[in-house]
Amino acid sequence: MDKILFRDTTRKLDTCCFALACSGGNGDTSAVPPPGTQATAIPSSTQATVVPVIAVVIGIVSAYSSTSGVVLPAFLPTVPGLVENLGGGSALGIASTMNIAGHLVDVSPLSTIGALCIASVPAGDMSRKLFNQLLGWGMSMTVVGAVICWVLFA
């Protein structure tokens, strides 16, 4: 992470705290925020690059979990704070990016829909082949979703 911003927790913005970013990844706690503050890792991003970056992150996370039940409830509340930290931008575009990027990879075999597809195939070579195909499709949709959202919303 390029920057660490310390923010007073009395503000009503949703932020993400990355403990590894605070410790530098090596257990050094000298960068841990003082009591009463919260660390927010903010990569050096601009209004033009935030959409594809968010699309890739959401796509990867959604490949391993439920988009509607886990990813969107966790990430959508961060949109207002993200727009504020960027100094403007389209909250609707960022929220739409999260929605589109998350749902494009839902067929990943590690997510709910993909797991149901795998479960419907008899065990054996066919299920392994389907697993690999769905995994390839899901991961490729992470990149495709980032490009589509960048074209539409950046």
What digits encode the pLDDT tens for the residues 102-131?
Answer: 999 888 888 888 888 899 988 888 888 999
pLDDT of residue 113: 86
Nearest 5°: phi and psi at 84? -65, -45
| Burial (CB count <10 Å: 0-12, 13-18, 19+), residue 111 | buried
The residue extents of the domains of the chain are: 1-44, 46-153
Residue 44 has pLDDT above 90, yes or no: no
Q: State yes or no: pLDDT of 145 exceeds 50.
A: yes
